[in-house]
Amino acid sequence: MLSNLHVKNIALIHEIDISFEKGLNVITGETGAGKSLLLGSVNLALGGKFSQEMLREGADNALVELVFTVDDERTAKKLTQMGYPPEDGCMIISRKLSGGRTISRVNGETCTASQLKEISEQLINIHGQRENQTLLKKEKQLEVLDLYGKNGLETKLKETENAYNNYIKAKKRFAEYSMDEEKRLRELSMLEYEVNEIEEAHLKEGEEEELEKRYRIMKNSRNIVEALTKVHEFTGYDLGAGDMVGRAIQEIGTVSEYDTTLKEIADSLADVDAILGDINRAAASYLGDYTFSEQEFIDMEERLDKIRSLQSKYGSTVSKIESYREQALSRIEFLTNYEEERVKAEKELEDSTNMLEEKCEELSKARKKEAKNFSEAVKKQMEELNFAQAVIDIEFTRASSYRKNGFDDIEIMISTNPGEPVRPLAKVASGGELSRIMLAIRNILADEENTGTLIFDEIDSGISGRTAQKVSEKMASIASGHQILCVSHLAQIAAMADKHFLIEKSVSDNKTQTVVRPLDKNEEIEELARILGGSKITDAVYSNAVEMKQLASDYKNK
């Protein structure tokens, strides 16, 4: 439900903060006080047109914020699937206008207009603002019919969805067999060539790394030999470093016994001599073992070229090349048995199409039966809402393609006046009529719908007396399972309020602003008396207001 509304700097509103409650929340006030502006602000937060002209005079930004309490598991699950899970059971939707730009956020995260619309449809339904009336959409009308008749349709809907899923799988599989013979043979030949090329290479894990190591050595053999020859010469004992160190050892040996420091120098020279000897022998050993084969070098170069060629075609590693080979073999098998498998796939598609057609026919037949009951139920509700000779019909047409919920397209057709032809629900001209029709539909779906909050604007347009009483009773009935926000000028509806708000204008510092406040029990009676009696409230009018509130309370308690 909508637990809080915060509006700042819109038209005559400086800043208001309203906490709504469960049940029926009614807003009343004098004409021109800004009743529609309040509900219009909710529509702005949900993606309605927001322009610079809406700013309160002297303000440079405006804000509308809605706080929803989400306690319905189905709604919470849908919002989570959409990527906007409720936080601590709450959804906060805000929209800010600043510098001619609007920014929408859900739980602090920026979202697009389409995302905002999708999210809001799970939380609230606004009647009287056509762009948010989901029941005007054909697909929603089908959903409503299925919801109404779910006991008789649930099994058939599941069977149809299963048949549709099988049909889609078969359709995708058959689509794989769309190539002509020339293309098949060309692809088959190419794949066989690729598999042969990989298999003939006899690739081994780690082979490339070992080859590269050996290749680097052989490629730089001349530099290696020249360098090691010089190392052997420079560290040797024929005028090399070894010879010089040997002489140094002899010289230090003659004096090392006289001082410990000299002894340390002698020991270090001995270590150097040993290291030079090891280096000299290692260089000699490497040169003695080293051989260079021109043919081996060529073969190695060709092998590396082959490996790198395969890597560029099929994968950067041996395992990836092997994976490509296995996929190619699988594709070869597919292409080899192509015609045989194509015939099977075609038969599967034919069988799945026939099964889906059969299930769609069964579902459509059951829907048409439910549609008659639905039409009668709505008509009965409408008769009690001052549509004495309303005509309701549901028009069925076949969709251009199969869907998981069958092949039916439906449209609710209605006539509200005698002699008028039925027209699509979306084309009903009067906002008040449309709201009452929606009220009738909502009433028969009250136990099934999970949209937490319903807003009715212009619900009481052009009605009075007994019709107004019936409208108020139906709203009270729906409010037992849903939160309703309603702007009204009728005492019958105001009397049914579980929470009554008064909207009025006030002047401060020569500036006019709209304010909203909740009424206590005594103030509710006074407001009812004002609605009933106008400018002059007599004792009789006041007594009538008290009685009306008591009767409304008695009705709700029943």
**Residue 384 DSSP SS3:** coil
CA gyration radius, the chain: 43
Non-local (6+) Cβ contacts of 48 within 8 A are: 40, 129, 131, 132
> Which of 482, 522, 483 is closest to 502 using CA atoms?
522
* CA distance linking residue 413 with residue 481, whole number of Å: 28
| Nearest in space to 103 (alpha carbons), one of 62, 135, 68 | 62
Determine the Cα–Cα distance for residues 364 and 358; give it in Å rounded to an integer. 10
Give the tens place of pLDDT for each residue, 161-188.
999 999 999 999 998 888 888 888 898 8
From the CB of residue 389, how many other CB atoms can be counted at a distance below 10 Å? 13
CB 284 within 8 A of CB 230: no
pLDDT by residue (tens digit) across 13-45?
A: 888 999 999 999 999 888 766 777 777 888 888
Q: Name the DSSP class of 238.
A: S
Contact present, 515 and 506 (Cβ < 8 Å):
yes
User: How far is CA 201 from each of CA 194, 307, 458, rounded to the nearest angstrom?
Assistant: 11, 8, 81
Q: How far apart are CA 94 and CA 117, in angstroms?
A: 13
Is residue 413 exposed (0-12), middle (13-18) or buried (19+ Cβ within 10 Å)? middle
Q: Which residues, given as ranges, of the chain have pLDDT below 50?
A: 129, 131-132
Quote the pLDDT of residue 131. Answer: 39
pLDDT in tens, 53-104: 778 888 888 899 999 998 888 888 888 888 888 988 899 999 888 877 888 8
User: What is the Cβ-side half-sphere exposure of residue 6, based on CA atoms within 13 angstroms?
Assistant: 11
The two structure tokens encoding residue 33: 């006080």
Q: How far is CA 406 from CA 160, 162, 347, 350, in A?
A: 6, 11, 22, 17
